[in-house]
């Protein structure tokens, strides 16, 4: 009885999941007419949307910022400078760091043609060692995202002097 009650919902789920209709822009619809052995095939084709791509061009002074060798917990702020060299306003839709240690800040308002702006990046310098991180920009200038890169090396934190009482190994009491 328990097996039957368990199998019924699984069976119903399988039926409904397999009968799901999913159509994309290139899907084909098949219509069967009564008395016809061959199905009439009609293809629905929709024009692709332009996705708000305009004649805006984002040109960077440099797509790579090299921090060099920096100290532990030092200033992790840097900037990427760019210009809209197109004829339409440039809109940065999204800027995303490759991990949580890389946080970009970008202009939210449209950037007029000929205007120079900055994308600020903050890297968490409490991570020791070499790093290479990316920032992915989505704009209205093209379908391809723009990839910016930061790289560098963070030195280890300086070792602190131990201020705890130290034990002399000759059997003497602790010194304070």
Would you state the pLDDT for residue 47?
A: 42
Residue 22 falls inside a structural domain = no
Name the residue range of residue 137's domain: 58-154
Residue 174 falls inside a structural domain = no
Q: What is the dihedral of CA 82, 87, 89, 93, to 10 degrees?
A: -60
Q: What are the per-10-residue average pLDDT scores of the chain (176 residues)?
A: 71 63 48 53 46 82 97 96 95 96 97 97 96 96 91 90 60 62
Residue 24 falls inside a structural domain = no
Residue 10 falls inside a structural domain = no
Residue 169 falls inside a structural domain = no
The CA–CA distances, whole Å, from 136 to 21, 37, 130 equal 34, 53, 20
Number of domains in the chain: 1
- The pTM (predicted TM-score) of the whole model is 0.62
Would you state the pLDDT for residue 45?
A: 43
Residue 126 falls inside a structural domain = yes
CATH, residue 93: 2.60.40.10
Would you state the pLDDT for residue 26?
A: 47
Would you state the pLDDT for residue 124?
A: 95
| Contact criterion met (CB below 8 Å) for 116 and 81 | yes
Residue 76 falls inside a structural domain = yes
Would you state the pLDDT for residue 10?
A: 75
Q: Where are the alpha helices (DSSP H) in the chain?
A: 2-18
């Amino acid at each position: 009885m328990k097996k039957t009650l368990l199998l019924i919902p699984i069976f119903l789920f399988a039926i409904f999941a397999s009968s799901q209709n999913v159509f994309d822009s290139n899907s084909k619809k098949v219509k069967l007419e009564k008395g016809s052995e061959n199905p009439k095939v009609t293809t629905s084709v929709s024009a692709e949307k332009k996705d708000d791509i305009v004649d805006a061009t984002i040109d960077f002074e440099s797509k790579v910022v090299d921090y060099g060798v920096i100290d532990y917990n030092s200033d992790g702020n840097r900037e990427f400078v760019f210009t809209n060299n197109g004829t339409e306003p440039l809109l940065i839709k999204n800027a995303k760091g490759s991990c949580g240690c890389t946080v970009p800040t970008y202009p939210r308002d449209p950037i007029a043609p000929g205007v120079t702006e900055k994308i600020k990046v903050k890297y968490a310098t409490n991570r020791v060692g070499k790093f290479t991180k990316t920032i992915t920009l989505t704009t209205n200038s093209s379908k391809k995202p723009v990839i910016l890169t930061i790289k560098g090396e963070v030195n280890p934190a300086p070792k602190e002097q131990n201020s705890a009482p130290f034990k002399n190994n000759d059997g003497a009491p602790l010194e304070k």
